Amino acid sequence: MNTSKQERVLEHTASVEQRVAAIESALAERGIVDADVIDELGHVAREQWIPQNGARVVARAWVDPAFRARLLANGRAAITELGLSLPAHHRHLVVLENTRTVQNVICCTQCSCTAFTLIGLPPDWYKDLEYRARVVRESRTVLKEIGLDLSPDVEIRVWDTTADTRYMVLPEQPPATIGWPEEMLAGIVSRDGLIGVARL
């Protein structure tokens, strides 16, 4: 498409906010979803679906080897021990353990799926078409571009999320933090660490 044609298309395309409002009013008009339900969902997403949940899981796994074993065996069951849960359609939570020589990275090549109750809603770059396409084909280069320059002896494993299987990375505990209290450990676990595009 040439530039002037692109500009004309953009001129006639509603903004994201306008499109969201149009969908909301269409759903409300037809009585499919109440406007209050949509507001409530937005509230839950902002307040409760946060990476601090995943950070608590990681901190517990670092201090409690038996919990770590349960988490790796059945993530969905283990997180309930911390009062956390996944929606019913996230049937499996697979927790991927990073080591000195293995870096796990999560993506969704189709769209934007994550274990959002633990990691939070996906950041914009995670949904970007170019990122989704390239992270599976040239993961080492993509990670380097976004600030994670791994030595050649680190194997990179990329995991493509599906509708019913969600992933969370268990980052390697920084040696300097051995012996820290659990709450303090949770404070150093970032969303990018849970996705696997950063090391802690």
Give CA–CA dist 170/157, Å, rounded.
13
* 111 touches Fe ion (CB under 5 A): yes
For residues 85 and 112, which CB has a smaller minimum distance to Fe ion in the complex?
112
Contact between 165 and 89 under an 8 Å Cβ cutoff? The reply is no
The SS3 assignment for 190 reads: coil
Catalytic annotation, pick one of 108, 139, 151, 190:
108
For residues 62 and 126, which CB has a smaller minimum distance to Fe ion in the complex?
126
For residues 108 and 118, which CB has a smaller minimum distance to Fe ion in the complex?
108
Segment contacting Fe ion (CB under 5 A): 35-43, 113-121, 139-147, 183-191? 113-121
Q: How many CB atoms lie within 10 A of CB 48?
A: 12
* 108 touches Fe ion (CB under 5 A): yes
* 41 touches Fe ion (CB under 5 A): no
Among 61, 106, 113, 135, binds Fe ion (CB under 5 A): 113
* 119 touches Fe ion (CB under 5 A): no
* 102 touches Fe ion (CB under 5 A): no
Q: Is 107 among the catalytic positions?
A: no
Segment contacting Fe ion (CB under 5 A): 84-92, 102-110, 140-148, 185-193? 102-110
Segment contacting Fe ion (CB under 5 A): 112-120, 128-136, 144-152, 182-190? 112-120
The SS3 assignment for 63 reads: helix
* 107 touches Fe ion (CB under 5 A): no
For residues 52 and 110, which CB has a smaller minimum distance to Fe ion in the complex?
110
Q: How many CB atoms lie within 10 A of CB 54?
A: 29
Segment contacting Fe ion (CB under 5 A): 47-55, 70-78, 108-116, 145-153? 108-116
Contact between 107 and 128 under an 8 Å Cβ cutoff? The reply is no
| Cβ burial 79-106 (10 Å sphere, 16+ → b, else e) | beeeebebeeebeebbbbebeeeebbbb
Contact between 95 and 170 under an 8 Å Cβ cutoff? The reply is yes
Give CA–CA dist 142/195, Å, rounded.
14
Contact between 157 and 103 under an 8 Å Cβ cutoff? The reply is yes
- Report the catalytic residues: 108, 111-113
Interface with Fe ion (CB under 5 A): 108, 110-113
